[in-house]
Amino acid sequence: MLNSIAVMTSGGDSPGMNAAIRAVTRTALHHGVKVWGIRGGYHGLLDEEMFEMKSKDVSDIIQRGGTFLGTARCKRFATTEGRMLGYKNLIDRGIQGLVVIGGDGSLRGASIFSQETGIPIVGLPGTIDNDVWGSEYTIGCDTAANTIIDAINKLRDTASAHRRIIVLEVMGRNSGWLAMVTGISGGAEYILVPEEEYDLDEICDDMKESYAKGKRYILVVVAEGAGRGYEIGKAISEKTGLDTRVSKLGHIQRGGSPSVIDRVNASRLGENAALAIISGLSDIVFGFNRGHVVSINLHDAVNNKKKLNPEFMRLAKVLA
Ligand code: ADP
């Protein structure tokens, strides 16, 4: 059993990361294990920004978005030299295992780090994109989806009043999950995702026909990986001659107080991660499958691409 571990957040932040840090910390302390917090992702690991945490260090954070440890992208960690320095910094403090909370990239870095140095690592999927292979859920995706839905509700009011076409660009460079679930739940007519080809000419013809039949307004949700909202809006306006407006939510999607689902799920994942790492397990990621917490091989998680549920794609078209 390990007696000293560290926890960090890395890559893009997501609501619920704090709940996960809190759960890792308090679970470890509950079992008499020392816990270190690493600030600013892999930067903090290399720059020795680490501090021992007590229970009160994670007080008053469960309701906050972002991550109180801070997060970052770190180029130096992508080099063997950088990772060796990180390893030395852990060993110097007697830290025997690491919990990394982050997206695809952070988990990939973690996988390489553990293979290279032998340091036990357990990962938790923290990203609003819900794109980590092996898990149906990632920390923060629920809050982000709810933030988008709130925007969609407002956009629908004004779109209806003016008989406009509204194009909403949401996050998701490689994954259409956010666009798909918010499009379905927001009643979008068209959902454009990077996983699926689309024909804008066909869509525009369809739009003109719908308007001719009396449709009051149309909502298009586009994942950033499927095209730029402003370009798509401009093309729709030119091709259809219909009044079209574009909104881009940007980083608002990342922030905000985490939803109940994100807090509870992050807490459950955090407890599992702490128990696993202190018992000496390594190279696993905890996620959810059919509502249950499951462990996923870290190597598999980062070397496979999660697919968008085809059921969503079918349903979106049926309901549009
Ligand atoms: P996210 O975790 O949100 O997907 P990034 O892809 O930007 O974010 O990754 C975060 C950090 O993880 C990077 O800045 C880098 O330090 C580390 N990382 C990502 N990919 C690798 C890799 N192939 N090797 C080592 N470190 C990596």
Mean pLDDT across 128-152: 98
- Which of helix, strand or coil describes residue 59? coil
Distance between CA atoms of 102 and 131, rounded to whole angstroms?
11
How is residue 139 written in tokens?
């920390």
Cβ 18 under 6 angstroms from ligand 1: no
* pLDDT, position 145: 98
Distance between CA atoms of 290 and 46, rounded to whole angstroms?
38
Q: Is 75 exposed, middle or buried (0-12, 13-18, 19+ CB in 10 A)?
A: exposed
Cβ 296 under 6 angstroms from ligand 1: no
Cβ 108 under 6 angstroms from ligand 1: yes
Q: What is the distance in A from the centroid of ligand 1 to the CA of 127?
A: 12
Distance between CA atoms of 86 and 99, rounded to whole angstroms?
14
- Integer-rounded Cα Rg, in Å, for the chain is 22
CA distances in angstroms from 56 to 22, 36, 77, 179, listed in the order given: 10, 13, 30, 38
Q: What is the distance in A from the centroid of ligand 1 to the CA of 277?
A: 21
* pLDDT, position 314: 94
Q: What is the distance in A from the centroid of ligand 1 to the CA of 98?
A: 16
Q: What is the distance in A from the centroid of ligand 1 to the CA of 12?
A: 10
Mean pLDDT across 146-173: 95
Using the predicted structure, report yes or no on whether residue 60 has a pLDDT greater than 90: yes
* Catalytic residue status for 13: no
* pLDDT, position 45: 98
Cβ 105 under 6 angstroms from ligand 1: yes
Whose alpha carbon is nearest atom 10 of ligand 1? 11
Q: What is the largest CA-CA distance in the chain?
A: 71
Average pLDDT, the chain: 97
List pLDDT tens digits, range 224-267. Answer: 999 999 999 999 999 999 999 999 999 999 999 999 999 999 99
Q: Are strands 284-289 and 292-297 parallel, antiparallel or unpaired?
A: antiparallel
| Catalytically annotated residue among 129, 142, 262, 283 | 129
User: Where residue 320 falls among pLDDT bands split at 50, 70, 90?
Assistant: confident
Q: What is the distance in A from the centroid of ligand 1 to the CA of 109?
A: 5
Cβ 115 under 6 angstroms from ligand 1: no
Cβ 109 under 6 angstroms from ligand 1: yes
Distance between CA atoms of 124 and 133, rounded to whole angstroms?
12
Closest C-alpha to 140, from 260, 254, 287, 14: 14
- Cα pseudo-dihedral 305, 308, 310, 314, rounded to 10: -160
Mean pLDDT across 111-122: 98
Backbone angles phi, psi at 207, to 5 degrees: -65, -45
Mean pLDDT across 289-310: 97
List pLDDT tens digits, range 32-58. Answer: 999 999 999 999 999 999 999 999 999
Using the predicted structure, report yes or no on whether residue 138 has a pLDDT greater than 90: yes
Distance between CA atoms of 113 and 26, rounded to whole angstroms?
25
99 neighbors 8 (Cβ within 8 angstroms)? yes
Backbone angles phi, psi at 162, to 5 degrees: -105, 0
Q: Are strands 165-170 and 97-102 parallel, antiparallel or unpaired?
A: unpaired
List pLDDT tens digits, range 64-105. Answer: 999 999 999 999 999 999 999 999 999 999 999 999 999 999
